[in-house]
């Protein structure tokens, strides 16, 4: 998978002692890999490698549940032009920021990163 900034994002995740994700990310990743396979952007082998890597890494993530409160917070973030699922990811990161204070937000989505930068410090070289 050749997303712009992919290596920087992967390195940041692997360097982190605590990486978190909103649980909707599981479905989103499966969907994104499947879409790329259907559009013939990746081969079946690349698809399977991506799925296997995701399944291998998934247990190490702290999972943020998509609760009603989180969904309400995300609804407020849609005023910044975010799609609903992107708003949920950012709301999850903001929730973690409240709990632990030091959060770095990572995404391949440029619009999401731009909005996130208004609320959370972005890691240099990843925006």
Q: How many CA atoms lie within 13 A of 17 on its CB side?
A: 1
pLDDT band at 7 (very low <50, low <70, confident <90, very high): low
Give the pLDDT score at 122.
Answer: 77
* pTM to 2 decimal places: 0.81
**Does residue 9 carry a pLDDT above 90?**
no
Any idea where the domains of the chain sit in the sequence? 6-116
Query: How does pLDDT run across 85-113, given as a tens digit for each residue?
Result: 999 999 999 999 998 888 888 888 889 99
pLDDT on residue 101: 81
DSSP codes, 67-107: -HHHHHHHHHHGGGT--HHHHHHHHHHHHHHHHHS---B--
Domain 6-116: CATH architecture, name and number where available: 3-Layer(aba) Sandwich (3.40)
Burial 32-62 (b: 16+ CB within 10 A, else e): bbeebbeeeebeeeebeebeeeeeeeeeebe
Give residue 123's pLDDT: 67
């Amino acid at each position: 998978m050749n997303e712009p900034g992919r290596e920087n994002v992967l390195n940041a995740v692997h360097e982190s002692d605590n990486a978190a994700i909103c649980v909707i990310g599981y479905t989103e990743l499966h969907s994104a890999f499947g879409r790329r396979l259907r559009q013939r952007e990746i081969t079946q082998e690349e698809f399977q490698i991506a799925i296997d890597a995701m399944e291998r890494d998934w247990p190490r993530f702290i999972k943020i549940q998509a609760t009603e409160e989180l969904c309400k917070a995300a609804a407020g973030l849609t005023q910044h032009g975010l799609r609903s699922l992107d708003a949920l990811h950012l709301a999850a990161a903001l929730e973690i920021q409240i709990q632990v204070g030091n959060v770095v937000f990572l995404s391949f989505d440029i619009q999401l990163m731009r909005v996130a930068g208004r609320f959370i410090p972005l890691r240099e070289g990843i925006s």
